[in-house]
């Protein structure tokens, strides 16, 4: 990515980028949330 603009938001800096190149692989996506790497899973149906 190429940085297009920067915005100061409180104590954070928001970067807006432009994708200039990408690669696609048929693998599970990388997900980082709550300080840990996670996996996506199908939601299971439950009866109410």
pLDDT of residue 2: 97
Is residue 21 in some structural domain? yes
Vertex 27: Cα angle to 19 and 24 (nearest 5): 30
pLDDT of residue 30: 81
Is residue 12 in some structural domain? yes
Is residue 9 in some structural domain? yes
Residue 27 domain boundaries: 2-38
Q: What is the mean pLDDT of each run of 10 residues along the chain (48 residues)?
A: 96 96 86 87 81
pTM beyond cutoff 0.85 = no
Is residue 13 in some structural domain? yes
Is residue 46 in some structural domain? no
Q: Tell me how far apart the alpha carbons of residues 19 and 3 are, in angstroms, rounded to a whole number.
A: 9
8 close to 17: Cβ distance less than 8 angstroms: no
| Number of domains forming the structure of the chain | 1
Is residue 16 in some structural domain? yes
- Compute CA 36 distance to the chain's CA centroid, rounded to the nearest angstrom: 13
């Amino acid at each position: 990515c190429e940085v297009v603009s920067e915005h100061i938001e409180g104590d954070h800096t928001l970067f807006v980028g432009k994708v200039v190149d990408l690669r696609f692989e048929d693998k599970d996506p990388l997900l980082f949330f709550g300080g840990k790497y996670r996996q996506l899973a199908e939601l299971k149906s439950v009866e109410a």
